[in-house]
C-alpha cells in the first residue's frame, strides 16, 4: 500500500463507523476476502443466509460469534479494497483475548510481542469464522467478548487509541468540512449513540 492510501485507511478507522455487517447489507458484497489494516492477514467473510441466530441449534454460538465479529469489526476500505480493522478489534478486547490464549492456546501468550499477539488473533478469527473450532469454544469466546461490552476499555486499548486513532481524529480539517457540509455524510464522522470514539 502507498503511504497516502495507508493514511486514508487510518483516517477512515478514526472517523468512519461502518461495521462489516452494514457494509455487506449496503453493498451486497456477498462472500469476500478481507484484509487487516496493518497486518498481512486475510480473513474470509461468508455471506450468511440470514443474520438471525439459530437459537437452540447445534450452531447457535457459531452464529452468535459470527454476528458479533460482523457487528464489531469496522470496514476501513471500500469495495475495491475490502480492508477491515481487525487490529483495533483485538486491541479493544486485548485483556480478554490474552486470557483466552492462556486458557486454550499451546503458546505462551505472555511472551509474545503485541504485534505477534494481534497477528495470531487475526489468524484465529479467520479460523473461527471458517468453522475450525467446536460449539463450546464459540460459546466461551462469545460470552467473554460480550462481557467486555460492559467494561471500560482496557489499558492496552487506551494506549493503542492514543497512538493509532486519536492523531487521525485531531487531523480533521473542520474548515474543509464546512465548505462541503452539504455533501459530507456526517454520520460517518459521528459514532453511533452510546459507542463513543473509544
pTM recorded for the entire structure: 0.83
Kindly tell me the sign of the dihedral angle through the C-alpha atoms of 175, 178, 183, 188: positive
Residue 139 contacts residue 106 (beta carbons within 8 Å): no
Whether residue 31 lies inside any domain: the answer is yes
Residue 194 counted as domain residue? no
How many structural domains are present in the chain?
1
Within-domain flag for 198: no
pLDDT tens-digit map of 164-177:
999 888 545 543 44
Average pLDDT estimate for 96-117:
96
Within a domain: residue 43? yes
Cβ atoms 89, 65 nearer than 8 A:
no
Q: Is residue 7 part of a domain?
A: yes
Write out the residue range of the structural domain in which residue 117 sits.
Answer: 3-189
Q: What pairing do the DSSP bridges indicate for beta strands 83-84 and 32-36?
A: parallel
The string of pLDDT tens digits covering residues 22-81 is 999 888 777 899 999 999 899 999 988 778 887 878 888 999 999 999 999 999 988 788
Amino acid at each position: 500500500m502507498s503511504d497516502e492510501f495507508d493514511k486514508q485507511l487510518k483516517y477512515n478507522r478514526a472517523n468512519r463507523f461502518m461495521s462489516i455487517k452494514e457494509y455487506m447489507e449496503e453493498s451486497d458484497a456477498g462472500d469476500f476476502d478481507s484484509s487487516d489494516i496493518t497486518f498481512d492477514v486475510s480473513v474470509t467473510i461468508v455471506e450468511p443466509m440470514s443474520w438471525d441466530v439459530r437459537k437452540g441449534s447445534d450452531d447457535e454460538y457459531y452464529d452468535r460469534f459470527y454476528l458479533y465479529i460482523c457487528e464489531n469489526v469496522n470496514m476501513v476500505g471500500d469495495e475495491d479494497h475490502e480492508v477491515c480493522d481487525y487490529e483495533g478489534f483485538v486491541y479493544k478486547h486485548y485483556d480478554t483475548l490474552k486470557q483466552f490464549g492462556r486458557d486454550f492456546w499451546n503458546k505462551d501468550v505472555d511472551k509474545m510481542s503485541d504485534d505477534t499477539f494481534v497477528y495470531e488473533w487475526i489468524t484465529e478469527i479467520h479460523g473461527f469464522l471458517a468453522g475450525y473450532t467446536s460449539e463450546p469454544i464459540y460459546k466461551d469466546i462469545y460470552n467473554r467478548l460480550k462481557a467486555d461490552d460492559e467494561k471500560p476499555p482496557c489499558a492496552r486499548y487506551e494506549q493503542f487509541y492514543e497512538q493509532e486513532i486519536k492523531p487521525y481524529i485531531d487531523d480533521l480539517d473542520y474548515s474543509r468540512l464546512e465548505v462541503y457540509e452539504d455533501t459530507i455524510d456526517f454520520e460517518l464522522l459521528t459514532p453511533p449513540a452510546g459507542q463513543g470514539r473509544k
